[in-house]
Chain A
Amino acid sequence: MAILDRTISDDELHNLLSQRKLPRWTTLATCATAIAGSALLSFISPVSGVAGTAVFAFLLFIVLQTGLSFAVEGKRYAIDRLATTLLLSALTAALVPLVSILLTVLVRGLNAFNANFLTSTMRNVSPRRPGGGILHALIGTLEQVAIAAAIGIPLGILAAVYLVEYGNRSRLARTISFFVDVMTGIPSIVAGLFVYTGFILTLGLQRSGLAAGISLSILMIPVVVRSTEEMLRLVPRDLREASYALGVPKYRTILRVVIPSASTGIITGAMLAVARVTGETAPLLLTTFLTQSINTNPFNGPQASLPTYVWDQISSGTTASIDRAWAGALTLILLVMILNLSARLIARASRVK
Chain B
Amino acid sequence: MTTLINPEAPVGAPLGKSSRPRDALFAGISRGSGIVVLIVMGAIGVFLLWKALPALSANTASFLTTSPWFPDDAQPKFGIAALAFGTLLSSVIAMVIAVPVGIGVALYTAHYAPRRFAPTLGYIVDLLAAVPSIIFGLWGLQILMPNSIGLWRWLDDHFGFIPLFSNEQNIYTRSIALAAVVLAIMILPTVSAISREVFAQVPPGHIEAALALGATRWETMRTAVFPFARPGMVSAAMLGLGRALGETIAVALILSATFKINWQVTEPGGNTFAANIALKWNEAGTIGLGALIASGLVLYVITFAVNMAARLVVERRRDFSGAN
Contacts and interface: CB of A to CB of B under 8 A. Distances in A.
Contacts of B192: 94
Nearest to A77: B216
Interface size range of chain A in the complex: 35 or more
A60 interface: no
B40 A91 contact: no
A1 B37 contact: no
Interface in B1-53: 2-6, 9, 13-15, 18, 20, 22-23, 25-27, 29-38, 40-41, 43-44, 47-48, 50-51
Given A80-B219, A91-B108, A100-B139, A155 B125 contact: no
Interface string B245-266: 1111100010000000000000
B311 interface: yes
A158 B154 contact: no
Interface string A299-326: 0000000010011001000000010011
A186 B108 contact: no
Contact of A244 (B5, B14, B154, B281): B14
Nearest to B282: A285
A194 B300 CA distance: 10
A333 B112 contact: no
Given A48-B154, A281-B132, A311-B134, A197 B38 contact: no
A76 B214 CA distance: 11
B217 to A, nearest CB: 6
B311 A48 contact: no
B239 interface: yes
B323 interface: no
A101 B121 contact: no
A173 B253 contact: no
Contacts of B159: none
Interface stretch (B74-82, B97-105, B167-175): B97-105
A197 B48 contact: yes
Contacts of B124: 95, 98
A185 B243 contact: yes
Interface stretch (A26-34, A119-127, A128-136, A161-169): A161-169
Contacts of A344: 123
B95 interface: no
Given A185-B306, A186-B246, A197-B47, A90 B108 contact: yes
A270 interface: no
A187 B104 contact: no
Given A193-B48, A250-B23, A49 B150 contact: yes
Contact of A1 (B48, B101, B223): B223
B37 A93 contact: no
Contacts of A84: 112, 217-218
Contact of A333 (B5, B18, B135, B310): B135
A191 B304 CA distance: 13
Given A187-B303, A311-B249, A329-B138, A87 B107 contact: yes
A338 to B, nearest CB: 11
A159 B30 contact: yes
A76 B210 CA distance: 14
Contacts of A40: none
Contacts of B101: 90, 93-94
A80 B134 contact: no
Contacts of B27: 162, 166, 250-251
Contact of A281 (B13, B29, B134, B216): B134
Interface of B: 2-6, 9, 13-15, 18, 20, 22-23, 25-27, 29-38, 40-41, 43-44, 47-48, 50-51, 100-105, 107-109, 112, 121, 123-125, 127-128, 130-139, 141-143, 150-151, 154, 185, 188, 192, 213-219, 221, 223, 239, 242-243, 245-249, 253, 274, 277-278, 281-282, 292-293, 296, 299-300, 303-304, 306-308, 310-311, 315
Given A249-B9, A280-B133, A329-B135, 5 more contacts: A79-B218, A87-B107, A155-B36, A185-B304, A254-B26
21 contacts: A76-B219, A87-B104, A88-B108, A90-B102, A95-B125, A155-B33, A158-B30, A159-B36, A162-B27, A172-B31, A176-B35, A191-B44, A193-B277, A194-B47, A197-B47, A198-B44, A249-B9, A249-B22, A281-B248, A282-B278, A332-B135
Pairs of residues from A and B, 7 with the lowest C-beta to C-beta distance, nearest first: A187-B246, A279-B132, A90-B104, A158-B33, A251-B26, A185-B307, A282-B248
